Amino acid sequence: RVLTARNSEELQQQLPLFMNREGEQPVLLEVFTSMEENRKVIQSYYEQLKHHNK
């Protein structure tokens, strides 16, 4: 089973289905995000790592 979320509202709807442990089949939750936002988050993460490892 594949669930998808393209915004926070869809994510909130899909999370209970994704976290349900009663299902007998694997479940995949595919979350679509903005490439620009991804770039900013990854850049920030690497900057934090760089400063933490000094």
Cα(25)–Cα(36) distance, rounded to whole angstroms? 34
Q: What is the distance between the terminal CA atoms of the chain, rounded to a whole angstrom?
A: 44
Express each pLDDT in 8-49 by its tens digit: 999 999 999 999 988 788 999 999 999 999 999 999 999 999
pLDDT for the residue 7: 92
Cα(49)–Cα(52) distance, rounded to whole angstroms? 5
Q: Can you give the pTM of this predicted structure?
A: 0.63
Domains: count for the chain? 1
pLDDT for the residue 23: 79
pLDDT for the residue 16: 94
pLDDT for the residue 21: 83
pLDDT at 54 over 80: no
Contact in structure between 10 and 32 (CB atoms under 8 Å): no
The whole domain housing 34 covers 2-52
